Chains A and B, each alone.
Chain A
Amino acid sequence: MNNTEITRQKAIQRYVRAIDKGDLEEIINILEQATTDPDLDLMLIEANQAVEQEEGLTAFAKDTAFVRQLVQQHFNSNIMSDEPDARPLTIGEVAARMQADRNVPKSDQAIHKTLLHFSTPLPEFLNIQAIRKLASELQISASEKFWRIFRDTAIMMGIGRGQAQMAAARKQKARKSGTGRTDSGNKK
């Protein structure tokens, strides 16, 4: 196990402890860490599921999903906007988001689990034909409904990632010009 993996393991242990204690501040810290580490993000999702299944803490798991969304919304666009994720979206990231959103059709859950580990980048022009071609090339058989949700999720993530980068560029520009204005993107 290398240093990065050890750090992730420790983060997961801290995360589970924080869930036990209801320590929202620590949960936010770790979720923040996960916004730049997709592997940690996946591990957190799995940890959430495990906690939920073993202890029936559905309501709390929903809370963490909500916190995750808040962290993404606020940290990506403001606090962490200097280093937004500029990599192309991957199949695994979209699958992880579907899981976090609890948006995986029951009949496709097995195939979805395998997709979580795919680091294949998505096609740049994300139409349904490109998704079908990708599925055929990777020999993945899932329902039409699954691929529709997958594509919708990927499009929303793509918009979000672009917006995060644009917000970061605006913030950097404001800093350079010395105005200190941090436009989050909302026109008043």
Chain B
Amino acid sequence: MRGVLRNALLMMAGCAALAAAASADEHEHRARVPMLKAYVQECSGCHIAFPPRMLPAASWQRVMAGLATHYGSDASLDTATVNQISVWLNANAGTGRRVREAPPEDRITRSDWFLRKHHEVAPGVFLRPSIRSAANCAACHAGAERGDYDDDGVRIPR
């Protein structure tokens, strides 16, 4: 019984913390699109929660339709969550001239704007053990988790 009570208390504390975190987020990042909680929860286990503006809606649609074979991993989800995240991605997808066209394989890292932005980064740099992949934004962009990709915050690890 004690275990049940402790779990219930832990869960309540967790819920309270979640609610507090959600409201703090809204205040700090009003200028950016606030991240959908389900999106962060479900999509940032293996990679950071990429800002939806980095891909066009057509790419997000294909990504969400193929989660069972997601860049070499099974990222399948229940239908309700898939639908919820899809609607949000569709509403917040990139629409500007730079992001309008779907990149090869719907990979952010193969977008023209991404390649242009990183043209000074030598190819081997992304493969360093400290970075491992161009998709590992947070390795160099310290503010990536908060949606901050500003050039000024870049520090490339050795």
Pair from one complex:
no
